[in-house]
Structure formats: C-alpha cells, structure tokens
Amino acid sequence: MTSFFTKSSTNFTQQQTRPRLAVTLGDPAGIGPEVVLKALADPDVTKDCHITVVGTSALLQAGLKSRLSEQSLPSQTKELSIIDVPLDSEITIGTGNAASGAASFAYMETAIARTLCGEFDAIVTAPIAKSAWKAAGHHYPGQTELLAIRAGVDKFGMLFVARSPHTGWTLRTLLTTTHIPLCQVAETLSPQLMTAKLDLLEKCLREDFGIEKGKIAIAGLNPHSGEQGQLGREEIDWLIPWLEQERQKRPHLQLDGPIPPDTMWVKPGQAWFGSGISSAHDGYLALYHDQGLIPVKLMAFDRAVNTSIGLPFIRTSPDHGTAFDIAGKGIADATSMKAAIRLATQLAYQRQNCSS
Ligand SMILES: NC(=O)C1=CN([C@@H]2O[C@H](COP(=O)(O)OP(=O)(O)OC[C@H]3O[C@@H](n4cnc5c(N)ncnc54)[C@H](O)[C@@H]3O)[C@@H](O)[C@H]2O)C=CC1
Ligand SMILES: NCC(=O)COP(=O)(O)O
C-alpha cells in the first residue's frame, strides 16, 4: 500500500486491529457514490480496514446497475456493509439542491454520531455541496466545521496531504483560514489564530507523521510578503514579530517565513516533480484557501487528501468537489477517494501504535 509516512513503519502487524471506517456518500447528486463504489472495488484499498458505507442503499444499487457497472465495482451491494439512510425526496443526478443537501447532511450526522459513540475509528467523507446544505437549511461553511462543532472542539484545521507519484515526497498544506470571503481574510488573520494553527501542524507532524523536528514554511499575505511595507503592512505589523516569537518558543522546529506567497511553492513543486526534496519543507502553512489549494490542486488534484486535524477521531476526504458536471457519467476518477481511505487507515494504525 502506498504510504504517506516518511519515517514511521506502515507494515501492519497481526496484533493490530483493522480500523473501522465510516465512508459517507456525500451529495448523492454528485460523483460521491461513484467514487466510493470504485474505491471499494479496489482490494488494495480495502484489505487493511473494515468499511461501512453511510448513505442510501438504493442509490448504490442503482449505481451498480447503471453504466457504472461497466467499470470495476464491487459485484453486489450485499458485499458491502451499509448503514442505510433512506432519501426523503427524489434526487436529480447532476443537480445539487435541498433534497440532495438534506441527504448528504443526514449521512454526515449519522456517521458522526456513531463515531462519537465509538463505533468507528475514522470517517471518510465524499464531497458535499455547501450550497445544497444551505438550501436544505443547514448553515455550515462545510463538513469540517460541522465535524468540529459535533465533536466539541474549537481548535481544528484543514490539512491537505498528497504523496508524489514521481518522487514519494509528501506535501502537507494547512490552511489558516478556510471558507470565508477573500475580503475578510486580512481581518480574520491574527497572531492568536496563527499560533493555534501552528500548534495543530506541529502536533500532527509529530504524532501522525512521526516528524519531531519539522521544517515548516509560512506564507506571507501580500505580494512579495509586502515588499517592506510598500505592498501591504501585515508582514511588518505583526506576521514577522509573531514568527520571531514562535522561533523562540519552538527552537526544535525550523520556521521559515513569511515566504512570498508566489515563490513559496517553487520548492514543493520541485520536490513533487523530481528534484530538491531535501530543501522542501515538512509542512506548509498557507494563510487562505486559494493560496494553499491552487498549488495543491495543480500538483495533486487527482490524489490529495483533505484531512481534518484537531478532532478526537480521524477524518479524511478527497480534495475534489461534487463535480455535478460529470455525475452519472461513470467517468469520475476515484484516485483521491482511494487515497483518502488509505490515509485514514494508515492514521488509524499509527494511532493504535501510539496508544499501545
Ligand atoms: N470536500 C468537499 O466536500 C468539497 C466540496 N466541494 C464542493 O463541490 C462543489 C463543486 O465545486 P467545484 O469548485 O466545481 O470543484 P469540483 O472538484 O467539484 O470540480 C472541478 C472540476 O474538476 C472535475 N472533477 C472533480 N472531481 C473529479 C474526479 N474525481 N474525476 C474527474 N473529474 C473531476 C469536475 O468535473 C470539474 O470539471 C461546490 O459546491 C463545492 O463546495 C469542493 C471541494 C471539496
Ligand atoms: N476546498 C476544501 C473544501 O471545500 C472542504 O470542505 P469540507 O470538507 O469542509 O466540506
């Protein structure tokens, strides 16, 4: 199995228990059911974990009967373990709306409640449409925030993890702010928020990826990190002083920054495509959604995994969305969903190792 881990072993032993994963179907009008079925048909993805699908059984049956069944899929849904969440209203494939939003929200609530009761070690979520949740009356910026609220945590993060198929190097990008309008980014960023995210990233590198003395790159906000105040003052006013304080507090870490946001991605790009792994960082702290996710998706759209850190359980998800434009056509690529299941499995084994 492809490993996301740089140092720790991923050779699972007989003594270890296969992690129990709840896999939600996401928005049923999107490609979620398709990528879940395709992932579950791959024995390399399923061999080290026990998967229970949380979603609408009838949808999976329909998926198996449709042209999706021309692909490699589990031969029958009875081979799958499913928690059936029936639909209240009919779904139109390719159209996210109140009905599809109500369904994907119900899948999440079911998976979260059962995980909090101890039934699962991890939740793997297929994508939802935030607008469909809103249409159904559920006002959350996304699944990450719902998970954090239900788990009762206020310090949590959205981390994207991807392993290069070219070099084996792993890109880890944490977003400081996530689903807010761009015009609110500067006012939302603060030294306190940055410290909270750095705490999460340091802990995650250490506990989940076995990296004790991490090298972390921190982006600037403005072009050229403000060009000494000429192109924006956030770096001078608080980002550089904050970073200096953090360097004193965390001498075991190498904290580089604020790195001009455009050039920050040159070294990871080289490490991803074939040169210069040694000068790349173990973690990248981006200040806002698109600053972090444009490079992630350029390098690794087909395989990056969105991981929620800071929760009392593991949660992973593919990096892509509902892809309504191709839903029902049988052409969705399940590589990122497979990577999400693999990473959840590996994190669960890693946590078993830590607690034994
Ligand atoms: N984790 C989650 O729940 C996420 C949900 N979304 C939601 O998805 C919805 C659509 O977002 P978009 O920005 O359009 O991004 P998207 O990822 O759904 O689609 C972008 C483009 O990539 C293609 N694509 C996406 N996944 C693919 C796959 N597995 N195989 C082949 N092609 C694929 C689509 O056909 C489309 O052309 C939005 O409502 C957004 O909020 C977006 C990202 C993550
Ligand atoms: N762009 C990332 C994203 O939309 C993740 O959303 P969610 O997993 O919090 O629903």
**Interval 179-234: pLDDT, tens:** 999 999 999 999 999 999 999 999 999 999 999 999 999 999 999 999 999 999 99
The pLDDT of residue 9: 42
The pLDDT of residue 7: 42
State the pLDDT confidence band at 75, using cuts at 50, 70 and 90.
low
d(CA 309, CA 42): 27
CB 117 within 8 A of CB 343: no
Write the pLDDT tens digit of every residue in 235-272.
999 999 999 999 999 999 999 999 999 999 999 999 99
| 33 CA → ligand 1 middle, Å | 14
Q: Assign residue 227 a region: left if phi > 0, alpha if psi is -120 to 50, beta otherwise?
A: left
Q: Please indicate, yes or no, whether residues 252 and 263 belong to a single structural domain of this protein.
A: yes
Contacts 24+ apart (CB under 8 A), 73-81: 73/37, 73/38, 73/40, 73/41, 74/37, 74/40, 74/41, 80/40, 80/51, 80/53, 81/50, 81/51, 81/52, 81/53
Q: Please indicate, yes or no, whether residues 201 and 145 belong to a single structural domain of this protein.
A: no
| 127 CA → ligand 2 middle, Å | 8
Q: Please indicate, yes or no, whether residues 144 and 275 belong to a single structural domain of this protein.
A: no
Q: Please indicate, yes or no, whether residues 141 and 131 belong to a single structural domain of this protein.
A: yes
Using most ligand atoms within 8 A of CB, pick from 305, 311, 316, 317 the residue to mutate for ligand 2.
317
Q: Please indicate, yes or no, whether residues 32 and 127 belong to a single structural domain of this protein.
A: yes
Q: Please indicate, yes or no, whether residues 172 and 206 belong to a single structural domain of this protein.
A: yes
Work out which ligand 2 atom sits closest to the CA atom of 293: 1
> Which residues span the domain enclosing 96?
1-153+311-356
Domain containing 258 — which CATH number? Answer: 3.40.718.10
| 238 CA → ligand 1 middle, Å | 35
The pLDDT of residue 13: 60
Q: Please indicate, yes or no, whether residues 273 and 202 belong to a single structural domain of this protein.
A: yes
Q: How many other C-beta atoms lie within 10 A of the C-beta of residue 134?
A: 14
- Decide: 335 in ligand 2 pocket, CB within 6 A: no
Q: Which positions make up the binding site for a divalent metal cation?
A: 179, 224, 289
| Residue carrying the six token digits 């403005």 | 222
State the pLDDT confidence band at 65, using cuts at 50, 70 and 90.
low
Q: Is 148 helix (H, G, I), strand (E, B) or coil?
A: helix
Residue nearest to atom 19 of ligand 1 (CA): 323
Longest distance between any two alpha carbons in the chain, whole Å:
64
- Decide: 317 in ligand 2 pocket, CB within 6 A: yes
Using most ligand atoms within 8 A of CB, pick from 38, 97, 138, 320 the residue to mutate for ligand 1.
320
The stretch 96-125 carries a mean pLDDT of: 97
Q: Please indicate, yes or no, whether residues 45 and 74 belong to a single structural domain of this protein.
A: yes
The pLDDT of residue 80: 76
The pLDDT of residue 353: 78
The pLDDT of residue 5: 54
The pLDDT of residue 151: 98
- Decide: 177 in ligand 2 pocket, CB within 6 A: no
Q: Which residues of 281-312 are buried (b: 16+ CB within 10 A; e: fewer)?
A: bbbbbbbbbebbbebbbebbbbbbbbbbbbbe
Q: List all residues whose CB is within 6 A of at least one atom of ligand 1.
A: 31, 35, 127-131, 143, 306, 317, 320-323, 325-326, 332-333
| Tokens encoding 324 | 């309504």
Q: Please indicate, yes or no, whether residues 85 and 167 belong to a single structural domain of this protein.
A: no
Residue nearest to atom 6 of ligand 1 (CA): 321
Total number of domains in the chain: 2
Q: Which residue has the higher pLDDT, 65 or 249?
A: 249
Q: What is the mean pLDDT of the chain?
A: 92
- Decide: 24 in ligand 2 pocket, CB within 6 A: no
d(CA 209, CA 107): 29
The stretch 283-311 carries a mean pLDDT of: 97
Q: Please indicate, yes or no, whether residues 3 and 118 belong to a single structural domain of this protein.
A: yes
Q: Please indicate, yes or no, whether residues 166 and 199 belong to a single structural domain of this protein.
A: yes
| Tokens encoding 57 | 């059984």
The stretch 316-329 carries a mean pLDDT of: 96
State the pLDDT confidence band at 163, using cuts at 50, 70 and 90.
very high
The pLDDT of residue 69: 47
State the pLDDT confidence band at 348, using cuts at 50, 70 and 90.
very high
Residue nearest to atom 6 of ligand 2 (CA): 142
Which ligand has the nearest atom to the CA of 326?
1
- Decide: 142 in ligand 2 pocket, CB within 6 A: yes
**Residue 88 pLDDT greater than 90, yes or no:** no
State the pLDDT confidence band at 6, using cuts at 50, 70 and 90.
very low
- Decide: 306 in ligand 2 pocket, CB within 6 A: yes
Q: Please indicate, yes or no, whether residues 13 and 120 belong to a single structural domain of this protein.
A: yes
